[in-house]
């Protein structure tokens, strides 16, 4: 089962890396238009699934479903913006600090405990962010801020999903998100709409396809084996994304950038291990 889970997580990481590359490649389109097509592409999968399995699209926790979607749309827009300003590997690494923000927010909003070692892990991860900016003049300040704020809103997504709990089917949660993202992206892109041509259609629709399969296989991996064994593997996305960036976009990473990314991933991986530990420290 573990071998299968590892395969699923690698497929998921590669799908998300391709999604990131597609976003980077579609510079001629506004972020809002990219969000629109990213959402429409995924709805081609979520709506048929719900109809086929006779699952109500309206859901039960409607207020929380809308709130989760709003947080998710803001996070997505800001992350896509960050990719335009930062090397993809840096943007993805910073976005993955979302679980840290989720844990801290849960500490204040839900009164959940945080282990001492988790605080150490958080410090390591944020030290990595500091290395990215403090020692690399090539890192855009605005891009860094977009990525960090995106991670904060992604953390709020985690908190909201936790409140929804099992009251709604996971596909209903995703479907709400994609519908609201399509509406927001569509409306905000009206004034800057660029008519896609030729292969651009494939790239735009591919956003939703790779986004959906990335999420699908990540879910299957987490369902197939223990979370603490496979969850750290999702950070392979950073490696895949960096390799694509180096090969296709000729992105460059300084020594300090690599140290920063390494610290972020180290802090996040150990946070998962510590969080899954039964013994509070």
Residue 281 or residue 51, greater confidence: 51
DSSP string computed for 65-130: HHHHHHHHHHHHHHHHHHHHHS-HHHHHHHHTTHHHHHHHHHHHHS-----HHHHHHHHHHHHHHH
Segment (H or E) for 176: helix 170-188
Residue 72 or residue 277, greater confidence: 72
The whole-angstrom separation of Cα 26 and Cα 42 is 18
For 25-43, write each residue's pLDDT tens digit.
999 999 999 999 999 999 9
Phi and psi, residue 158, nearest 5°: -60, -45
Mean pLDDT in residue range 114-134:
88
Q: In the chain, pLDDT over 90 holds for what percent of residues? A: 62
For 183-236, write each residue's pLDDT tens digit.
999 999 999 999 999 889 999 989 999 999 988 888 788 667 665 567 778 889
CA angle 55, 57, 61 (to 5 degrees): 105
CA angle 276, 109, 79 (to 5 degrees): 75
Q: What is the pLDDT of residue 281?
A: 44
Phi and psi, residue 17, nearest 5°: -65, -40
Nearest to residue 100, comparing CAs of 279, 267, 227? Answer: 267
pTM of the model: 0.89
The answer to whether the beta carbons of residues 261 and 136 sit under 8 Å apart is no
Instruction: Say if residue 103's pLDDT is above 80.
Output: yes
The whole-angstrom separation of Cα 216 and Cα 209 is 10
């Amino acid at each position: 089962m573990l071998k299968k889970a590892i395969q699923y997580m690698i497929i998921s990481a590669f799908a998300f890396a391709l999604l990131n590359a597609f976003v980077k490649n579609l510079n001629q389109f506004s972020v809002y238009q990219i969000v629109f097509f990213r959402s429409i592409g995924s709805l081609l999968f979520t709506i048929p699934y719900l109809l086929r399995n006779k699952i109500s699209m309206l859901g039960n926790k409607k207020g929380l479903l809308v709130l989760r979607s709003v947080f998710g749309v803001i996070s997505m827009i800001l992350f896509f913006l960050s990719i335009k300003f930062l090397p993809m590997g840096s943007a993805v690494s910073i976005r993955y600090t979302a679980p840290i923000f989720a844990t801290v927010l849960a500490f204040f909003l839900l009164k959940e405990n945080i282990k001492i070692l988790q605080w150490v892990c958080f410090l390591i991860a944020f030290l990595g962010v500091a290395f990215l900016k403090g020692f690399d003049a090539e890192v855009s300040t605005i891009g860094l801020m977009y990525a960090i704020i995106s991670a904060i809103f992604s953390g709020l997504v985690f908190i909201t999903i936790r409140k929804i709990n099992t009251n709604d089917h996971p596909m209903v949660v995703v479907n709400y998100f994609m519908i609201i993202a399509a509406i927001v992206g569509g409306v905000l892109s009206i004034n800057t709409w660029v008519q896609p041509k030729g292969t651009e259609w494939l790239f735009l629709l591919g956003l939703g396809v790779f986004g959906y399969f990335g999420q699908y296989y990540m879910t299957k991996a987490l369902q197939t084996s223990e979370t603490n064994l496979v969850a750290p593997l999702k950070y392979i996305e950073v490696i895949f994304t960096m390799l694509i960036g180096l090969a296709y976009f000729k992105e460059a990473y300084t020594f300090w950038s690599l140290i920063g990314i390494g610290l972020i991933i180290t802090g996040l991986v150990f946070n998962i291990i510590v969080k899954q530990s039964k013994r509070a420290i």
